[in-house]
């Protein structure tokens, strides 16, 4: 029995959007890692490495999934930069307090969560349940980061 070909064009577009956003978010976290100051430095500095590693793993798996689906992942700085919707702004020493940096990070993780939900919705429409399964897991991971960063900022995860 021949399997039915799945139309996954919206999924491919959303996966590339996620690649662009994950790459930008990794860069933004790297800047926070380099420029943070404050009494929680020793705790938060290595945490930024953990967040970058989580995002790097997600980035790699999503690019490989995109290829497996017959797509072509963004692979250049120019492509990532042209397609991300996250800010690409230089920060400097003492420009932001540690709380302000973490608040920026929280906002960007909330955006990422929304992008994962878009991907979940698209994969549902296109009946690409293996990709949806991957995105559900990444959304869950992102929600945990949101909860933890929110708690650091003395906020609830839905604020």
pLDDT at residue number 4: 44
Tell me what pLDDT residue 7 has: 65
pLDDT value at position 103? 95
**CA 38 from chain center: how many Å?**
25
pLDDT tens by residue, 26-54: 999 999 999 998 888 999 999 999 999 99
Q: What is the model's pTM? A: 0.92
Contact 86, 21 (CB under 8 A): yes
Q: Number of C-alpha atoms within 13 angstroms, CB side, residue 110?
A: 13
Buried b (16+ CB within 10 A) or exposed e, 78-99: eebeebbebeeeebeeeebebe
- Select from 1.10.10.10, 3.30.360.30, 3.40.50.2000, 1.20.1260.10 the CATH code of 9-152: 1.20.1260.10
Q: What is the DSSP string of 31-53?
A: HHHHH--STTHHHHHHHHHHHHH
What is the average per-residue pLDDT within 92-104? 90
Check pLDDT > 90 for residue 72: yes
């Amino acid at each position: 029995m021949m399997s039915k070909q799945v139309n996954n064009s919206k999924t491919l577009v959303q996966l590339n959007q996620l690649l662009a956003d994950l790459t930008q978010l990794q860069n933004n976290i790297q800047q926070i890692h380099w420029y943070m100051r404050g009494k929680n430095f020793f705790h938060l500095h290595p945490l930024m490495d953990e967040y970058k590693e989580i995002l790097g793993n997600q980035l790699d798996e999503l690019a490989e999934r995109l290829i497996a689906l017959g797509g072509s992942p963004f692979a250049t700085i120019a492509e990532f930069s042209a397609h991300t919707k996250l800010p690409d702004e230089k920060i400097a020493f003492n420009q932001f307090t540690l709380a302000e940096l973490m608040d920026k990070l929280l906002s960007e993780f909330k955006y990422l969560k929304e992008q994962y939900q878009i991907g979940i919705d698209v994969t549902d429409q296109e009946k690409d349940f293996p990709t949806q399964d991957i995105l559900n897991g990444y959304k869950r991971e992102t929600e945990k980061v949101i909860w933890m960063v929110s708690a650091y900022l003395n906020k609830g995860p839905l604020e």
